[in-house]
Amino acid sequence: MLLLQVPAVDTTAASLSATTAAQPQSLQLFDLVAKGGWVMIPIAFLFFAALYLIFERYFVIRSQTKSDANFIDNIRDMIAQGNIKSAESFAKNQRTSMGRVFEKAIGRIGSPIREIESTVETVGQIELSRLERNMGYLGIIAGIAPMMGFIGTISGIIRIFYDISLSDNISVGIIAGDSMRK
């Protein structure tokens, strides 16, 4: 009685091909990019350029903003002891943005306060521009990449309408294109 309830397994070639055809094929990322057409080449280039700029700026900013925890205390102690040149040299040896700002400020000790403030502002602006270098390119990439995507979309739609006009048939296979049918 139990054997009557087990369905018979059909192992013919026709049934195997039918089951594999019924399974949906997965679309891998590389396949999707390859089917995107020629527009994907500049978009991929812009992607890698943006990644490079992001990581490059991250490491530059990270290295330039590191400072010794006792940096200001050491500078203050050296100045209080009258070692202006050693304080200036200590700030220069830091090789960070903050060290360069302090180096210029210490070099102006004895000048009027307004001149010291002006020097610190000027050096601060210079250091800020060093830290923001190449950031404009990210803005350009952010403007160009979506436009390239729109161009790819429009060219794909034009290709779909062209294929439909050639076949006089509006079917999913025609809309998906030969590269999508398998």
Per-residue pLDDT of the chain (182 residues; tens, 9 = 90+): 444 455 555 555 445 555 545 555 677 777 777 777 788 889 999 999 999 999 999 999 998 888 778 888 888 899 889 888 988 889 888 888 899 999 999 988 888 999 999 999 999 999 999 999 989 999 999 999 999 999 988 988 888 888 888 887 777 777 776 544 44
Within a domain: residue 167?
no
Paired tokens of 178: 């030969």
Within a domain: residue 91?
yes
| Domain housing 84 | 69-131
Question: How many independent structural domains does the chain possess?
Answer: 1
103 closest CA partner among 114, 116, 112, 23 = 116
pTM comes to 0.66
Within a domain: residue 78?
yes
Within a domain: residue 64?
no
Within a domain: residue 179?
no
Within a domain: residue 81?
yes
